[in-house]
């Protein structure tokens, strides 16, 4: 029997990158997948591959920055499916004009909403379903930028991901009595399409050295496989060829 047979998993940001890889990995183990993202076509593509693996897939597109969209998807899961075992809170975004000398009120609002408020809104609709079951797991894709402030991601991405880290720990503090566990996953540089949003996109040689989406999916499977008595509160996964470290070494050698 596959490990997640009969489990319902809601994957946000499920049309590409980490969300896509995790949805397929969980589906291989029998989980039924609810896929959410802003674009219908990538979701339909991933859903087709989930079904080819013999698992059920529900496509629920929506803008998770919009509370009404989040409520609609939450109502679908609670009302039509009737349970939710895992929320993979994975959706996020970044922009080119990410530093203070280019930030505006509009894109500051976008960064905080897209990386923190959207994740928090998904939690608010998942928790009532999980409380009723007295069981549930939430895995948040944050970033090493949620622990360390650096230059690559931009200040508001870092600020929002720090918020996701704090949010995850607070869920464990308040919801452990309901059998709900929360893990915040902090990957380093991952070779996903979000890299294309950088001011200076990274080439294929550098991307090959980074964490790959499948690496993240493998770790998510491990977290999801832990027994209910355990919670992995926080976990970090980085490439061994850490470009920030390499840059620091090169700067030291030039002194």
For residue 210, give the CATH number of its domain.
Answer: 3.40.50.720
What was the pLDDT predicted at 205? 87
Beta strand residue intervals within 54-187, DSSP E: 57-59, 86-89, 136-141, 180-187
| In a domain? residue 1 | no
| In a domain? residue 3 | no
Q: Could you tell me the residue range of the domain that residue 76 belongs to?
A: 8-253
Structural domain total, the chain? 1
| In a domain? residue 208 | yes
Cα gap 113→125, rounded to integer Å: 17
Cα gap 223→217, rounded to integer Å: 10
What was the pLDDT predicted at 255? 62
| pTM (two decimals) | 0.93
| In a domain? residue 171 | yes
What was the pLDDT predicted at 197? 63
Per-residue pLDDT in tens (0 to 9) along the chain, 255 residues? 789 999 999 999 999 999 999 999 999 999 999 999 999 999 999 999 999 999 999 999 999 999 999 999 999 999 999 999 999 999 999 998 999 999 999 999 999 999 999 999 999 999 999 999 999 999 999 999 999 998 778 999 999 999 999 999 999 999 999 999 999 999 999 998 777 766 677 788 888 999 999 999 999 999 999 999 999 999 999 999 888 777 778 777 666
| In a domain? residue 183 | yes
What was the pLDDT predicted at 204? 86
Q: What is the DSSP letter of 213?
A: H
Q: How far is CA 249 from the centre of its chain?
A: 31
Cα dihedral 148, 217, 20, 62 in deg (nearest 10): -60
- C-alpha distances (whole Å) from 74 to each of 60, 69, 153 are 10, 9, 30
- C-alpha distances (whole Å) from 238 to each of 43, 101, 189, 231, 255 are 27, 29, 7, 21, 27
């Amino acid at each position: 029997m596959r490990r997640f047979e009969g489990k319902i998993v809601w994957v946000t940001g499920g049309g590409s990158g980490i969300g896509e890889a995790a949805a397929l990995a969980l589906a291989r183990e029998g989980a039924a997948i609810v896929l959410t993202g802003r674009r219908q076509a990538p979701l339909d593509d991933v859903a087709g591959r989930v079904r080819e693996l013999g698992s059920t897939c529900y496509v629920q597109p929506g803008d998770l920055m919009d509370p009404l969209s989040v409520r609609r998807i939450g109502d679908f899961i609670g009302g039509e499916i009737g349970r939710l075992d895992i929320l993979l809170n994975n959706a996020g975004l970044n922009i080119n004009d990410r530093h203070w000398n280019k930030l505006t009120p509009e894109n500051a609002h976008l960064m905080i909403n897209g990386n923190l408020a959207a994740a928090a809104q998904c939690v608010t609709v998942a928790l009532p379903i999980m409380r009723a079951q007295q069981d549930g797991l939430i895995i948040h894709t944050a970033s090493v930028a949620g622990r360390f402030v650096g230059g690559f991601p931009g200040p508001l991405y870092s600020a929002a991901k720090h918020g996701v880290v704090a949010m995850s720990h607070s869920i464990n503090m308040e919801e452990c009595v309901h059998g709900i566990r929360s893990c915040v996953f902090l990957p380093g540089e991952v070779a996903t399409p979000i890299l294309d949003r950088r001011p200076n996109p990274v080439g294929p040689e550098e991307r090959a050295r980074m964490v790959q989406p499948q690496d993240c999916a493998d770790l998510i499977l491990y977290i999801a496989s832990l027994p209910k008595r355990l919670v992995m509160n926080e976990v970090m996964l980085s490439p061994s060829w850490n470009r920030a470290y390499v840059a620091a070494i090169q700067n030291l050698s030039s002194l």
